[in-house]
Amino acid sequence: MNATITVPYDKRLYELFAAEDKDIGRAQYTMSDDGKTLSFTIVAEDAVAMRASLNAITKLLTIWEKTQHL
């Protein structure tokens, strides 16, 4: 199973995720950017692993977004 999440590029966001573990058991993700967007490509062995990876990434993105409005 594969999924891709794309968000506007921000160097600080990239650095935040660069420190994270990209191998989450039965799923892994990679990051890539083109200077305008940051993409997370998730590859998972099954739906449960995909959901866990998506939740981990979106949770950190949510925290990031909320802190931008402080």
Helical axes 11-18 vs 47-67, angle rounded to 10°: 140
Domain count, the chain: 1
The pTM of this model reads 0.86
- The confidence score (pLDDT) of residue 52 equals 92
* CB hemisphere CA count around 34 (13 angstroms): 6
Nearest to 16 by CA among 69, 68, 70: 68
pLDDT in tens, 10-54: 999 999 998 887 887 899 999 999 999 999 999 999 999 999 999
pLDDT for 69 beyond 90: no
Sheet-wide strand order for 37-44 = 2-8, 37-44, 27-33, 23-24
- Domain limits for position 56: 2-67
Q: How far is CA 35 from the centre of its chain?
A: 16
- The confidence score (pLDDT) of residue 25 equals 86
pLDDT in tens, 55-67: 999 999 999 999 9
